[in-house]
Amino acid sequence: MKKAGKERKPSTTTVIKASKPKRSQLAAATTHHVDPAATAHLGPAAVHADKDTLFSARLHRVDMGAEENRELHLQVLRTDNGSYYLWERMTHVEMHYGHDVALDASSTKCVVAANVGDALHKFQAAFLAKTGITWRNRFLHDARGDYTFVDVDLGRPQHLTSEVRHVMALLPPECNFRPRTPTPTPLPVLLSKHTIDRAIALLDEMRSVLATAPSRTRQRSSLVLLSNHFYALVPHCFGHEFIGRHVLDTSTRIDTMASVLTTHFLVTPKAALQDPLYVQFQALRCDLQLLSFASPARTLIQTYFDNTKAPLKFSLTLRCVYQVDKQIESDRFQAFATLHNRKLLWHGSALTNWSSILQSGLKIAPANVRTNGQSFGTGLYFSDSVSRSVGYCHSNKVGLLALCEVALGTPYVTAASDASAKRRVDGVAYDSVHGYGSYLPDSGFDHIMPDGVTVPMGKLARSDLATENGLEYNEYIVYNTAQMRMRYLVVADFDTRVP
């Protein structure tokens, strides 16, 4: 391998020049093309643009022999306070775009720059090190470096972080982009005409190799290299198949890939390249941000989870936590935001219900959801014990639970089921119902959040008032959806093999 930092000589393949973007496209792209992982890390930012150039590069590396399929994003970013950064995100394609999306599919690196000039220098140095060609010559060369520069259309991209894709992939797969077939699937990337022309030229090279190679061994070697470059230029997800099985080594395979280029990128590219996970996420109108493992909120929720988990017939483990921001719920909740006795409580539901919940919020007795019992009448049920709420997840592998801020006010307290309890909640004498359980979190360890919300995170202990026929755990019921808002979404793993 040649040393990074020295430009590689261009190959003898056809040189295809790219057209310059329109000024209006460039202006819009400065915000549309910011990597979402960078926004989560830095806050609001824009990609630096200078004249007709957007300093954002999408690079791909495919090595069919080593089973490698990676993408790398390089960007010069400017934050609202005028600071400049070099942003890098490396992603394992199968882990990010495949059927099972891994939380650690991507790794990121953020380098602070002294000024815009320093940021551009760092960007160009990184580009040269990865591709073997200079940024200035990115369109003029077709060098075969470690990474290939992929020129994309400056229309609005469809970006989701690996962390958000991870939770979206847990939802029922109506039409999700999660290939299971052995056929490679093009990534939902809108390629530029320049890139498509380069890909067509590569297919022509492959046909020439098939027709003229002096030996089968030399032919195979050339076709593997050309296939590596083609799949880097036209990114694909290979699912769980061995990448090496998809070398374009026959006329049929080459013709099939030419048809893919026509169908997906030339005839109806925008329709063909919709990313269903992105489309589904956009429909939720809900912001999800993964909490870092070391964040105070994540630590608090882990303690709440562990302490209110009673002995079960299966293992229950917290996988990850997302902060939820749903504007319509927050707006609706304002009428009860100052009501006393607000608690952070658990709510569990089956995976099949979560698309609707995240899109429209929790509803009272929705028509498409089976009833799980109405011990206190028709309302929204919550608990301060995660063990109580996981029972509604109906899962033996993975489940989702919401941690909701619930404005309880003055509750009507009862230790037994009461189907008529709803009639007592009039907003004057009582604002909610509290079904008093036999096992309660130790109130001496309640945590008060900065906004006044109580987290009943003490360990479960048997109450002195417990009765044999009473409720096992606390239950809290409200009959007005405006009295709650989702604060966090928790992914939990179940293992029914554990006795």
Per-residue pLDDT reduced to its tens digit, 208-259: 999 987 888 889 999 999 999 999 999 999 987 788 899 999 999 999 999 8
- Every domain of the chain with CATH number 3.90.228.10 lies at 285-495
Return the axis-axis angle of helices 193-212 and 216-233, rounded to nearest 10°: 170
**Spatial CA neighbour of 286 closest among 452, 167, 369:** 167
Does domain 285-495 match CATH 3.90.50.10?
Answer: no
Q: Which residue has tokens 């995170």?
A: 457
Mean pLDDT on 291-301: 93
What's the per-residue H, E or C state across 54-122? Answer: ECEEEEEEEECCCCEEEEEEEEEEEECCCCEEEEEEEEEHHHHHCCCCCCCCEEEEEEEECCHHHHHHH
Residue 468 CB neighbours (<10 A): 5
pTM recorded for the entire structure = 0.76
Per-residue pLDDT tens digits for 433-453: 999 999 999 999 999 999 999
Which pLDDT belongs to residue 1?
40
User: What does the chain come to in residues?
Assistant: 499
**Spatial CA neighbour of 96 closest among 34, 164, 149:** 164
What tokens appear for 88 in the block?
Answer: 């890098």
What is the rounded distance in angstroms from the CA atom of residue 251 to the CA atom of residue 309?
60
